[in-house]
Copies of this chain bind each other. A is one copy, B any other.
């Protein structure tokens, strides 16, 4: 199958939906809305919403029902990028080839734009549930899981441990904690959100969970590898920043070859987790392989 075309098509749907949902730059107060849009567009690969949409389709959901929840996941991801880029956190000057939010709008507005995107993620999900056809109890379970994945036992815990580990000698379990929390938990929640809203059975949810865990960690290991091997042109930011910042990474801890081996192992686990779905799992299989081979 044409996985690149599939991903592009899904990204277009997400981009169109985000465009409709987010306030216009001319709405008052304009600076806030400009700042919210600035990091959201043109945006990145939209991998989290795509995973949610794909999981939804794999288990038999109808395409459009998932879209608002998929957009909410992208809001949460985008807020985390804006806040993580702040000088007091990762202190990144550029992202996706452009100056980061606080470089353009100032730290105060960047903080508030992040806050607004995080809050709007929840508003979007509740509003669309009230308008749509999803059983409110199922939606409540989904929102519960997403808020947990994004919160102090999930993504934020990962970011905290990441910051506190900078410049320190860190062992593999701590690095795995950072990666499975900072990136992994929202990726897993994205896959499970699609499954749950699409009406997955318990065994299907179990397969999706194993798949989501494996690709979540693989995604972050490839990120670490790209920071060593990637080019500025393909990534939109300078490679080598992890090393310059004394960030602990898989290649730094295990070497490049062993990191690649682990990544391939995880991709293998992800593909194996799809067995239950037979031919229906084809797209997810291709996405897993794509993550293993990605160059940006």
- Residue among B140, B150, B156, B164 making CB contact with A136, cutoff 8 Å: B140
**Residues of chain B within 8 A of A137, CB atoms compared:** 130, 136
Residues 148-174 of A, flagged 1 when their CB comes within 8 A of B and 0 if not, give: 101110001101110110000000000
Instruction: Among B31, B118, B144, point to the contact of A126 (Cβ < 8 A).
Output: B144
Instruction: Please give, as numbers and ranges, the residues of chain B lying within 8 Å of A116 by CB-CB distance.
Output: 151-152, 156
Beyond A88-B107, A140-B126, whether A115 also contacts B160 by CB under 8 A is no
How many of these chains are in the complex? 2
Determine if A119 is an interface residue (Cβ-Cβ < 8 Å).
yes
Instruction: Judge whether B120 and A152 touch: CB under 8 Å.
Output: yes
**Contact partners of A118 in chain B: CB under 8 A:** 115, 118-119
Interface positions of A (Cβ within 8 A of B): 23, 28-29, 31-33, 36, 79, 83, 86-89, 106-109, 111-112, 114-116, 118-120, 122-123, 126-127, 129-130, 136-137, 139-141, 143-144, 147-148, 150-152, 156-157, 159-161, 163-164
